Amino acid sequence: MWDSDPGPAIAEGLSGAAIEMAGAAVEVLETMFFELPVDLVREAEPPRAGLASEVEFSGTRNGRLAVDVEPGMARRLAASFLGREDEQTVTEPEVNLVLLELANMLCGNALSRLEPRGGFQIGAPRPALVTEGGAGWLMVPVESGRLSVRLSFRDEA
Amino acid sequence: MCKRLLIVDDSPVMRSFVKRSIEIAGLQVDRWLEAGHGREALEKLGVEAVDLVLTDINMPVLDGEGLLRAMRSDERLRTVPVVVVSTDGTELRMARLMELGALGYLRKPFPPERLCLLLEQVFPDWAEERGKELSDVGF
């Protein structure tokens, strides 16, 4: 039984950790970037190389979160996060820093949902030079473009 | 009723976000201090008093837990309110930081209202003033 209204469905065809990852992505994008989903979150092919960042974690579970954002969307996200109306005032270093913070927030939020009683050390987020291939990518469609995110655990590799 | 605030986070864009959120909440701040890690925060607190510290947990050099421990063992800093702002929302971590004396825990992502509620707890004088202003305009 639900303690409260579970709200509208945000994902389709997902189970387990992927559902929590989808929930984390939607919450982070809505709350910190004012970006609303325009469709359901689904599993997808690995993204074509956009701007990517990643963060590793250890503790109750070990693994990595990778996020890839279309270049135009990255600038818009950075502008929203920094409270700038004009995207052109956002510098490239600022875009990169916001993407690092995005990976950090997605990782922390997803792990808190998956293992609320767990204990984790989340490493420093870093730019990812190559977007990983393979399965497990989720695509989050929002107004300004598509965000792709993948949460992988080392013990499940 | 102006305040002095210290924001501690290794991400300059996150410091900027927290600062803007507090400005939107309407708290009058006449002095903003920023630090990229706990050690730098302690250096700044050594030369200037503040009314509130907002700190991240995962930072290089000295993390948020280390900062909190150092502040609680320092006679001059023991009573300075500290609010933790972090992506790590696991129960164990939150409980440990509250035991160490954090006044509140704000898990990222956070809506502005949640930050407002915490600020009202830290600054009841501001909360009272704010409540009066809101009732004056019919809320």
Percentage, residues of chain A above pLDDT 70: 93
Assess whether pLDDT exceeds 90 at residue A10.
no
Q: From residue A100, how far is each of A25, A38, A69, A122, B117 by CA, in Å?
A: 14, 24, 11, 12, 28
Q: How far is B108 from chain A (nearest CA, A)?
A: 6
What value does the mean pLDDT of chain A take? Answer: 88
Q: Give B13's contacts in chain A (Cβ within 8 Å).
A: 78, 81-82, 94, 97-98, 101
B1 pLDDT band (50/70/90 cuts)? Answer: low
Would you state the pLDDT for residue B131?
74
Q: Which domains does chain A have, with CATH numbers?
A: 17-154 (3.40.1550.10)
B13, B90, B108 ranked by CB distance to A117: nearest: B90
- Of A101-115, B30-44, B55-69, B106-120, which gets the smallest average pLDDT? B106-120
A37 cis-preceded (ω within 30 degrees of 0): no
Residue A44 pLDDT: 86
Q: Are strands B82-86 and B104-107 parallel, antiparallel or unpaired?
A: parallel
Report the pLDDT averaged over residues A92-97: 95
Q: What is the mean pLDDT of chain B?
A: 91
**Section B76-89 average pLDDT:** 93
Assess B95–A contact: CB distance below 8 Å, yes or no: no
| Structure-block tokens of residue A60 | 């109750």
Q: Which two tokens stand for residue A17?
A: 């950790």
Cα dihedral angle (A13, A16, A17, A21), rounded to 10 degrees? 40
pLDDT at B111 over 90: no
Q: What does the pLDDT average to over B48-59?
A: 95
For chain B, domain boundaries: 3-119
For A57, the token pair is 């974690």
Report the alpha-carbon distance of residue B120 to residue B114 in Å, rounded: 10
A contacts of B107 (beta carbons < 8 Å)? 108-109, 112
CB-based contact (8 Å) between A61 and chain B?
no
In angstroms, the first-to-last Cα distance of chain B is 22
Identify the CATH number of the domain defined by range B3-119.
3.40.50.2300
Average pLDDT over residues B51-74: 96
* A124 to B10: CB separation less than 8 angstroms, yes or no: yes
Q: What pLDDT is attached to residue A4?
A: 46
Query: Å from A109 to nearest chain B CA?
Result: 6
B12-28 residue pLDDT tens? 999 999 999 999 888 98
Give A-chain residues touching B88 at CB under 8 angstroms: 108, 111-112, 120, 122
How close, in Å, is residue A63 to chain B by CA atoms? 15
A window 94-153, beta carbon within 8 A of B: 94, 97-98, 100-101, 104-105, 107-109, 111-112, 115-124
Task: Enter the pTM of the model.
Answer: 0.89
pLDDT of A155 > 80? The answer is no
Across A70-87, b (16+ Cβ under 10 Å) vs e yields beebbbbbbbbbbeeeeb
Confidence of residue A56 (pLDDT cuts 50, 70, 90): very high
Among A30-34, A91-95, B69-73, B127-131, the least confident range: B127-131
- Which of the four pLDDT bands, split at 50, 70 and 90, describes residue B127? confident
Per-residue pLDDT band at A1 (split at 50, 70, 90): very low
The answer to whether residue B93 neighbours chain A at the CB level (below 8 Å) is: yes
Considering only CB atoms, A115 lies closest to which of B11, B90, B111, namely: B90
Q: Is the pLDDT of residue B91 over 80?
A: yes
What contacts A93, CB < 8 A, 6 or more positions away?
Answer: none
ipTM of the complex: 0.85
**For residue B26, what are its two tokens?**
């309407």
A87 shares contact with chain B (CB less than 8 Å): no
pLDDT for A49: 73
Q: Look at residue A50 and tell me whether its pLDDT is greater than 80.
A: yes
Distance of CA A58 to the CA centre of its chain: 18
Residue A157 has pLDDT above 50, yes or no: no
